[in-house]
Chain A
């Protein structure tokens, strides 16, 4: 099986200096192509790539956001599988073999890497053995950080978009990352959840190790408050689009209605009232996506969470 390694970049020329050589080294043995999709950089990333790494395909796009860049690159790839990598992710030389081996299992849509901090630690590392549960109006995603629970290949809710392999045909069938979540966050959770909903699986592969400098990319271009608001808005849109169980959906909507009051009574919370309003402005879009999702769903919401790792702690 051949897989295109796709590095997504926006004004991260300095990050590419580390991530591209590592990807090239990992891809070399299997003859896998490497592509950098550039989302409207203005720091000379594309020129740098073309000059320094002629063997890398540089796909220069006008600024359209992370999701659009990933979708375009996945459509442009000519291999049956693809591997998405953030520009701040440095792969270990042997990361690709186990990742693609996982894809070979029946009905697998995607396989996620094991994310470590640059120093090899797991503290606050995100994207490992993910699972979820519905709580107070949201899907709470659990990222496993206990070392002993991160040693086996197993199902997970979604694969972190910063380091995941997937079948391109399934990706295209899912429509890739949804623009609903523009500009950032929750698009990878969404695609994983929908893959489970269609009867496929998402796996976690501990032998596929990558090093991720958490927050490097987003922290450069967005204020923390903006990141928090967008993340909260997208968490709401995720529920509106994907939660199809009528009873659970009613409970979740009731919980979301209480958020505005919670903001006043409790304080110190994420900006949920503003997030709710921002999501409401995309209600029409969310409703259309929900209708599409309904047609394709073969598993209930409860089954998805159960199969995808069940009951986050």
Chain B
């Protein structure tokens, strides 16, 4: 890593078929941060996709590496920004990636939705998104629990017969 060039942490699930979106997102960041060098957070599954994009600097997550060790390594790179690549329309989902972007210590987040404009925000806005999604998820979990609980109560009845 060239010390004089800004480091950007790439955060993506790198699902197959998203390569083009990731490439476009990186190009859009480079317009704002010329010469940016990317370091990616990846798993054993996503790393090959990222290497296919020409990314060699990959911090591997999972297997025998704890989250704390990974985050120490991320913060040691002192990323100037983070690039979060979303899959669908809007800025839906990708909560874990947003949380990682916050934890990285980077001051700026580039939120890239394929086919849409690049959304650039600071830590406060990103934290707001994390909190909002966590709250919404809690409500959804409660509703899901009610629906499935009602279904479970209805379906577990009438235990006659030899099933199970």
State the A residues within 8 Å of B (CB). 240, 244-246, 249-250, 253-254, 256-261, 263-269, 273, 276-277, 280, 283-284, 286-287, 290-291, 293-298, 300-301
Contact = CB atoms under 8 A, between A and B. Distances in A.
Contacts, number: 109
Main secondary structure of the interface of B (DSSP, over half): helix
Given A258-B144, A259-B144, A297 B161 contact: yes
30 contacts: A240-B151, A249-B155, A256-B148, A257-B147, A260-B140, A260-B141, A261-B140, A261-B144, A264-B92, A264-B133, A266-B94, A266-B96, A267-B88, A267-B92, A267-B93, A268-B13, A273-B144, A276-B147, A280-B147, A283-B154, A287-B154, A287-B157, A294-B161, A295-B160, A295-B161, A296-B161, A297-B162, A297-B164, A298-B162, A300-B164
Interface of B: 13, 15, 86-88, 92-96, 133-134, 136-138, 140-141, 143-145, 147-152, 154-164
- Kindly name the residue among A244, A257, A287, A291 whose own CB sees the greatest number of chain B CB atoms within 10 A: A257
Contacts of B156: 246, 249
B88 A260 contact: no
Contact of B141 (A257, A276, A296): A257
Contact of A265 (B93, B147, B150, B164): B93
B140 A264 contact: yes
Contacts of B162: 294, 297-298
A245 B152 contact: no
- Return the 6 tightest CB-CB contacts between A and B, nearest first: A267-B93, A268-B87, A260-B144, A244-B163, A260-B140, A257-B148
Contact of A253 (B13, B87, B148, B157): B148
Contacts of B163: 244, 293-294, 297, 300
A247 to B, nearest CB: 9
A290 B164 CA distance: 12
Contacts of A286: 155
A250 B87 contact: no
Contacts of A259: 144
A261 B146 CA distance: 13
Nearest to A276: B147
A249 to B, nearest CB: 7
B160 A253 contact: no
Nearest to B160: A294
